[in-house]
Amino acid sequence: MALAAPVISWRLADNSGVWPSGGKWDLGVVDAGFELPANRKAGVLIWNNYANTTDDAPDMQDVNITTANNEPGHEGAFDGPVVEHKMIRVKNVSVSDGNFTAIGGTGAKHIYTTRSTNYNGVTSTPHQNTYPADPDHPPAHYPYPGHTVDILGVKNDGDKSHAMGNFVEVLIDAFPPAIAPAGKFEFLLRISYWY
């Protein structure tokens, strides 16, 4: 049986548990104009259908990550210092990104994997398909025209080495510009996608 929608999980880079622990990523004090030390950056796996050995979920297409405000009264809005100054940066480890990309609001980063998932003798790989001849009756797992399959939703055992097509690994960093205001800020990391 196929699930109706992708099932998203945010997990630690070593796949040992959910991220962030306790529901919040506490950055502590971040000095404007300075990069976070390596031990304070967050390695994260963004999974679709984590460890589901029974059902496929729809593939995630055109996946993007950005930030949104989470201050009281502004939840989800594309305003506030973290968003407007693009204080958060992301690197796509799954495709060996060389550089961080600053994100915020509509300034999102496309994230994807090109790696495969192997489960029960079946290998699946994210891809961009040619849209089928009969667009009113596309087969399962076809992307919309012009869209890429970025994260698979196929059944998997949840093992990082077997299910690399079912997650994107990112490294998340805070790097406020020197002109950023001081203060305590609440923000959301948000992904958007088609399915």
Domain ranges of the chain: 9-194
Calculate mean pLDDT across residues 56-71. 96
pLDDT of residue 148: 79
The whole-number average pLDDT for the span 150-157 is 97
Q: Do strands 109-110 and 60-69 pair parallel, antiparallel, or not at all (unpaired)?
A: antiparallel
pTM of the predicted model, to two decimals?
0.89
CB of 25 closer than 8 Å to CB of 114: no
- Which one-letter DSSP state was computed for residue 66? E
Residue 130 has pLDDT above 60, yes or no: no
Per-residue pLDDT, averaged over 89-117, amounts to: 97
Write the burial class of residue 173 (CB in 10 Å: 0-12 exposed, 13-18 middle, 19+ buried): buried
Average pLDDT on 137-149 reads: 58
Please state whether beta strands 101-103 and 88-92 pair in parallel, antiparallel, or not at all (unpaired): antiparallel
Instruction: Supply the mean pLDDT for the chain.
Output: 91
H helix count then E strand count, the chain: 1, 11
Name the pLDDT band for 149 (thresholds 50, 70, 90). confident
